[in-house]
Amino acid sequence: MAILEVTGLKKSFGGVMAVGGVDLVVEKGGMYGVIGPNGAGKSTLFNAISGFYPCDAGRVVFKGQDITGLSPDRIVKMGMGRSFQVTKIFPKLTVYENIHSTVLFTEGCGWSMLSSTKHLAREGTRAVLAMVDLAEKADELAGTLSAGDRKRLELGIVLATKPDLILLDEPTCGMSPQETVETIALIKKINLDAGTTVLFTEHKMDFVFSMASYITVMNFGLVIASGDPETIRNDPRALDVYLGEG
Amino acid sequence: MELSSKWKALAGLIALSVLAVLPFYLQERYSQYEVYLATKIVVWVLFAMSFNLVLGYGGMMSFGHAAFFGAAAYTCALLMVRGKWPGIPAYLVAPFVAALIGLIVGYFSVRITGAFYFATLTLSFSMLLYILVFKWRSFTFGDDGIQGIPVPDLISTQESYINCYFFALIVTLVCIYILWRIVNSPFGLILRTLREDPDRAAFIGVNVNRYRLVAFVISAFFSGIAGVLYMSLEASLAPDILFWSSSGEVILMGLVGGMHVFLGPAVGATIMVLLNSLLTSYTQNWGMFLGITLILIVLFFPEGVLGVLREKYLAVAKKRSL
């Protein structure tokens, strides 16, 4: 059963076509990778799917509902979370507050004006911090974290929204080899244990081929190949534009 | 590491005791003018802290908060002078008028992307109100202002400022307590996420514009209360309080005191009112000296006086804990 269906999605900036009519189907519970060289349109595709950019044409259906043109907050409430290529966190809040604010909002306390945050949603916040291995850095300002820790914090924020589908834009970018291995394990765990569907972009090919059950290859805003990892490994178009470079 | 709640309670108790005996001491030791000055500080403390909900917590650079301060002051005065309303209903209605104006200004402003445009739009609304009050002489008394406002006897300043001081102090403390509850609530935390990164806030599910609007209206309401207190203190009004310079002053109070610390704007308001009073007694060019002082503060205390003190305290506490 498809959790996400993208049909004929187009997005241009001025005269430059960033995404030129992409079709994509993501099955529930799957792990999907989108690869392509820099400027292929992967991030723009994510931005258009998640409501960050309005689409010029096409349709995005999430959990059977047309979400084309909806604002990000409404899409998130429907169960889609996302991370960004350049990490988006709350830098002058502590790591704890970054997660706590998200847990509070997700649990429906966001409009409470007279109750103290101190005793609300503590367990949920701690659970997410432990999941992304940031419990020991809970009191540090998010802006002082290393690039790898920022990525993990952002992943924690995304998980705190309790999503059914997560869009991860280069989730291991800036991470050390050790951090990369840990993050891959975490994403796999989220996918297997919680049944969360994952759609990700990544430049580390080992990561992509060890994780994804289905891969879409993009170039110049178009899908040029798609299939399981074995198919993509042997696809001459994919090899030509991307894998061949290595 | 924050101060323990026991120390906070003790500091609060000492501060309250000082504030309670202060007007009597000032009246005895100095003159009524000093009591007036203390009351003025209390009024501006409330205005600066109300404004800081928008700037320091919400990250919205409003350059038009004088509109809410002045609108409530004028509403209250006109209801009593033109409408012959008794004091209590006029006092109660005025902040809601400020909140309503805040709702209208905020509705359009929060949709604007970019601090510069937000500041420009709020400034424009504020100046529109200023021109309206200035030009509509038949109703607002124009540039003559409103003189001899019938402030209720209980807080009248005709014989002494002490009653007015305590009225302003009690109202301000209650408002500060409510503001403190708000900024420490889930709503306050979400508001800070908007300041940090509105895009990320939207991607945790927050309707950014709606939160900003609610914060704007709350801030306008409390600014309106400060405006009513100002009217009670002065017993007269001039359109100047709606001018952009009043909005500028309240921004500077936040900058000077520290807009990322809850009591920062209170410290900023105290410093600014005292500086203003001190400098005007020595020179007519007080604005120039004030400008120099502000440049020094911004250069050497970019987080404001209380912000820097807090950083130093936290650094020392961290060192001790190692």
The residue of chain A nearest to residue B185, with distances taken between CA atoms, is A116
The set of residues, in sequence order, having a beta carbon less than 8 Å from that of B250 and lying 6+ positions away, is B44, B47, B48, B51, B65, B66, B69
The set of residues, in sequence order, having a beta carbon less than 8 Å from that of A124 and lying 6+ positions away, is A103, A107, A160
Residues B157, B234: Cα–Cα separation, whole Å: 8
Mutual angle of helices B66-81 and B87-109, in 10-degree steps: 150
Does any CB of chain A come closer than 8 Å to the CB of residue B192?
A: yes
Interface test with A, best of B204, B260, B311, B314 (most A CBs within 10 A): B204
Chain A to chain B Cβ contacts (< 8 Å): 102
**In this predicted model, which residue has the larger pLDDT, B184 or B116?**
B184
Query: What share of chain B has pLDDT > 90, as a percent?
Result: 75
Q: What is the DSSP letter of A244?
A: G
Instruction: Kindly report the nearest CA distance between residue B314 and chain A, in angstroms.
Output: 12
Q: What is the DSSP letter of A223?
A: E
Nearest by CB to residue A115, choosing from B185, B192, B207, is: B185
A245: pLDDT strictly greater than 60: no
> Is the distance from CB of A99 to CB of A90 less than 8 angstroms?
no
Nearest to B175 by CA among B23, B36, B21, B44: B44
What would the pLDDT profile of A46-70 be if each residue is shown by its tens digit? 999 999 999 999 999 999 999 999 9
**Which residues in B38-171 belong to E strands, given as ranges?**
none
Query: Which range has the top average pLDDT, A17-21, B52-56, B282-286, B307-311?
Result: B52-56
- What is the band of A244 on the pLDDT scale with cuts at 50, 70, 90? low
**In this predicted model, which residue has the larger pLDDT, A194 or A111?**
A111
Q: What is the mean pLDDT of chain A?
A: 92
* pLDDT at site A246: 43
Q: Which residues of B touch A117 (CB under 8 A)?
A: 184-186, 188-189
The ipTM is 0.92
Residues A160, A90: Cα–Cα separation, whole Å: 14
What would the pLDDT profile of B74-108 be if each residue is shown by its tens digit? 999 999 999 999 989 999 999 999 999 999 999 99
* pLDDT at site A205: 85
Instruction: Kindly report the nearest CA distance between residue B245 and chain A, in angstroms.
Output: 30
DSSP string for A84-122: -SS----TTSBHHHHHHHHHHHHTT-TT--SS-STTSSH
A16-27 and A2-13: which strand pairing?
A: antiparallel
A80-82 and A165-169: which strand pairing?
A: parallel
A57-62 and A2-13: which strand pairing?
A: antiparallel
Cα three-residue angle B94-B98-B102, rounded to 5 degrees: 165
Q: Which residues of A touch B188 (CB under 8 A)?
A: 113, 117
- What is the band of B294 on the pLDDT scale with cuts at 50, 70, 90? confident
Query: Token pair of B158, please?
Result: 């005709």
Does any CB of chain B come closer than 8 Å to the CB of residue A166?
A: no
A28: pLDDT strictly greater than 70: yes
Q: A102 and B189: CB-CB below 8 Å?
A: no
Does any CB of chain B come closer than 8 Å to the CB of residue A71?
A: yes
What would the pLDDT profile of B170-214 be if each residue is shown by its tens digit? 999 999 999 999 999 999 999 999 999 999 999 999 999 999 999
